[in-house]
Chains A and B, each alone.
Chain A
C-alpha cells in the first residue's frame, strides 16, 4: 500500500464518519465501534490483495445501508431521541464546547429574567398587595425584554439596531406606565393585552437578526412562535405539577409554601421558562418539527368542523351572535386561534408540494372563519351604532377588520392555490407581509387609544 492510497483511504473513512455523525440515532461511541469494524474489514480485504478503494467500497456495502442501521439503532435506543432534548447536539464532539457555552449563557439570561421580575420588590413594589396592577400591566416587559436581549446576544445584533429595539421597549414601558390610566379602565386592560403583542414582534426583529424585511426570516419567526408556544406550554405543565407537589408536600409538614410559590416560584419560573423555551426551539429544532405538523393536522379538521357546525346552528336557529362583550372576546380568540392554525400549517408546509386535501380543508376553515368574522363585525357595528364608540368596542372593531382583511385575502389565495392557479409562495408572502399590520395595530392601541379615549 502506498502512502498516497493510504491517505486517500483515511479521507474516505473520515467522510464516512462525518456522514454517520449526522445521524442522531448513532452516538459517538456507536460510530466509533462501527468505524473500528470498518477498518478491520478493510484491513482484511486489502491483505487479501484488494486495492484500498475497492476494499473501502466493499466494507461500506457490507456494513449495510445507513438508513437501516440508524433505524435499528433507534429501535434499540429509542430513549435517545428524548435524551437529545438537552444533553447532546447534532455533531457532539466538535460543537460540544460551543453548545455548553450556549447553554450556560442561556441559563444566565433565564436567571436574569427570573430575577428581573423580583427587582421592583427592592423598591417596595410588592406582588402581594395593591401593587399587583403594576406587575400585571408590565408583564409584557418583564417577559419579553430578557428574551429580546437573549436574541440580541445570540444573533450578534449591531449596536444601532439594539438601540432601536431598546427604544421600542422603553416606548412600551412609557405607554403602560406614564399614561394616567386607572386600573379599572378599559384603556389599561387594552394596553396590558396589546403590550405583549407589540413587544413580541419587536422580539421578532431581534430573532431575525435584523433581517426582518426578509420573507424567509419572517416565516422562521412565525415557525419559532408556534414551536416556542408548544415548548412553553410543556414547561408550564411540568411547572404546574411541581407547584402542586411543593404546596402539598410542605403543607404536610406544617409549612405554608403558598406565599413562596405565589411570589417566587411561579413568577420567576414563568419568566425563566420564556427564555428556556426559546433556547429549546433553537437547540432542538427537529424534535418539535415532527410534532407541530401533526398538531396542526389534528386540529385543523376539528376546528373546521366546529366552525361549520356553529355556522349551521346560527343559520338554523337564526340567532345572531349575542352582543355581550365577553362573548365577542371568545369569538375574537377563536379567530386568532384559526389564524394561528393557518399560519402554523403554512410555516410547516413544504412550499413546493402540490395542493392536496389538507389545503382544501384549510380553505374551508378560512372561509368558515371569514363568515363568522362577518357576523361578529355585524354585531359589533350594531353595538357601536347603538351605544357609541368606547375603547373596547373600537379595539374589537379594529381587530376584526384586521383579521377580516387577512382572512379574506387568504381565502382568495388559497382558492387560487387549490385550483392550481397561484403558487403557494403567494400565501406565504401575504402572511409574512401582514405581520407589519399586526405590529402597527398593536402599537396604535398601545399609544393612541389611551389619549383618544381620555384614559377611560
Chain B
C-alpha cells in the first residue's frame, strides 16, 4: 500500500511529536519507529525529517541537544517541551475528529443515503 504524499506530510508533525512524547530520541531512531508503527506503510524520504525537526525546534515544540559519547560520533537528540505536549494534544483532538468523521462514513456504508437536493423556488 502506498500512502500519498499529502497524507504523509499532514501526519508527520503529530507522529514526530507523539514519538518524542515517549522520550528523548534522534532522527534515525524516530524514522525507524515511524516505520515500525506504520508496518512499513509510511515511507518518508529520510532527509526531509530534519527540516521538520528544525521547524519544530524553531517553533519551540521540541528542544535539541548534542550528545557526544565517549567513543563514537556526536548526535543531536530531540526532546518534547511543555508547549510541544500542548501542540500534540491539540493535534490529537483534530485527528480524532477527522478519524471519527471518516469512521462515521465508512460504518454507515449502504445505510448512508445522499441528501436530496432542495427544490429552490419551485412552487407546486
Question: A: which residues have CB within 8 A of B?
Answer: 29-30, 32-34, 36-37, 39-41, 59, 62-64, 68-69, 72-73, 75-77
Q: In the assembled complex, which residues on chain A have CB atoms less than 8 Å from the CB atom of B27?
A: 33, 36-37
Complex Cα–Cα for A174 and B46 (A)? 68
Complex Cα–Cα for A302 and B14 (A)? 51
Confirm or deny: B58 has a beta carbon within 8 angstroms of a beta carbon on chain A.
yes
Q: In the assembled complex, which residues on chain B have CB atoms less than 8 Å from the CB atom of A62?
A: 45-46
Complex Cα–Cα for A63 and B51 (A)? 12
Cβ–Cβ contact B76 & A64, under 8 A? no
Residue of A nearest to B29 (CB): A40
Q: List 30 A-B contacts (CB under 8 A).
A: A29-B76, A32-B73, A32-B74, A33-B50, A33-B75, A33-B76, A34-B47, A34-B50, A36-B26, A36-B76, A37-B27, A37-B28, A37-B31, A37-B46, A37-B47, A37-B50, A40-B28, A41-B46, A62-B45, A62-B46, A63-B46, A63-B47, A64-B46, A64-B47, A69-B48, A72-B48, A73-B51, A75-B51, A76-B54, A77-B54
Residue of A nearest to B66 (CB): A29
Complex Cα–Cα for A273 and B54 (A)? 36
Additional A-B contacts beyond A39-B73, A64-B46 (12; CB < 8 A): A29-B66, A29-B76, A32-B76, A33-B75, A37-B47, A41-B46, A64-B47, A64-B48, A68-B45, A68-B47, A72-B47, A73-B50
Give the Cβ gap from B109 to chain A, nearest Cβ, in Å.
39
Determine the main DSSP class of B at the interface with A: helix
Q: In the assembled complex, which residues on chain B have CB atoms less than 8 Å from the CB atom of A41?
A: 28, 46
Complex Cα–Cα for A202 and B38 (A)? 68
Contact with A along B47-60 (1 / 0, CB 8 A): 11011001100100
Q: In the assembled complex, which residues on chain B have CB atoms less than 8 Å from the CB atom of A29?
A: 66, 76
Give the Cβ gap from A250 to chain B, nearest Cβ, in Å.
39
Q: In the assembled complex, which residues on chain B have CB atoms less than 8 Å from the CB atom of A73?
A: 50-51, 54
Complex Cα–Cα for A237 and B48 (A)? 39
Cβ–Cβ contact A30 & B50, under 8 A? yes
Q: In the assembled complex, which residues on chain A have CB atoms less than 8 Å from the CB atom of B47?
A: 34, 37, 63-64, 68-69, 72
Give the Cβ gap from A409 to chain B, nearest Cβ, in Å.
52
Which 5 A-B pairs give the minimum distances between C-beta atoms? A64-B45, A72-B51, A40-B28, A64-B47, A63-B47
Query: Could you say which of B47, B66, B76 has the most chain A C-beta atoms within 10 Å of its C-beta?
Result: B47
Q: In the assembled complex, which residues on chain A have CB atoms less than 8 Å from the CB atom of B66?
A: 29
Cβ–Cβ contact B73 & A36, under 8 A? yes
Cβ–Cβ contact B28 & A36, under 8 A? yes
Query: Could you say which of B31, B51, B58 has the most chain A C-beta atoms within 10 Å of its C-beta?
Result: B51
Complex Cα–Cα for A107 and B76 (A)? 36
Segment 55-98 of B: residues with Cβ below 8 Å from A: 55, 58, 66, 73-76
Residue of A nearest to B49 (CB): A37
Residue of B nearest to A59 (CB): B46
Complex Cα–Cα for A77 and B51 (A)? 9
Q: In the assembled complex, which residues on chain A have CB atoms less than 8 Å from the CB atom of B76?
A: 29, 32-33, 36
Complex Cα–Cα for A37 and B66 (A)? 14
Cβ–Cβ contact A76 & B74, under 8 A? no
Q: In the assembled complex, which residues on chain B have CB atoms less than 8 Å from the CB atom of A59?
A: 46
Complex Cα–Cα for A64 and B58 (A)? 23
Give the Cβ gap from A128 to chain B, nearest Cβ, in Å.
52
Q: In the assembled complex, which residues on chain B have CB atoms less than 8 Å from the CB atom of A32?
A: 73-74, 76
Complex Cα–Cα for A298 and B76 (A)? 45
Q: A76-B54, A76-B55, A76-B58 are in contact. Are A36 and B48 (CB under 8 A)?
A: no
Complex Cα–Cα for A41 and B28 (A)? 8
Q: In the assembled complex, which residues on chain B have CB atoms less than 8 Å from the CB atom of A40?
A: 28
Cβ–Cβ contact B51 & A76, under 8 A? yes
Give the Cβ gap from B84 to chain A, nearest Cβ, in Å.
17
Give the Cβ gap from B13 to chain A, nearest Cβ, in Å.
13
Residue of B nearest to A25 (CB): B51
- From B31, B51, B75, give the contact of A36 (CB < 8 A): B75
Cβ–Cβ contact B73 & A63, under 8 A? no
Q: In the assembled complex, which residues on chain B have CB atoms less than 8 Å from the CB atom of A64?
A: 45-48
Give the Cβ gap from B8 to chain A, nearest Cβ, in Å.
13
Residue of B nearest to A32 (CB): B74
Q: In the assembled complex, which residues on chain A have CB atoms less than 8 Å from the CB atom of B45?
A: 62-64, 68
Complex Cα–Cα for A278 and B123 (A)? 81
Query: Could you say which of A29, A75, A76 has the most chain B C-beta atoms within 10 Å of its C-beta?
Result: A76
Complex Cα–Cα for A29 and B57 (A)? 14
Give the Cβ gap from B56 to chain A, nearest Cβ, in Å.
10
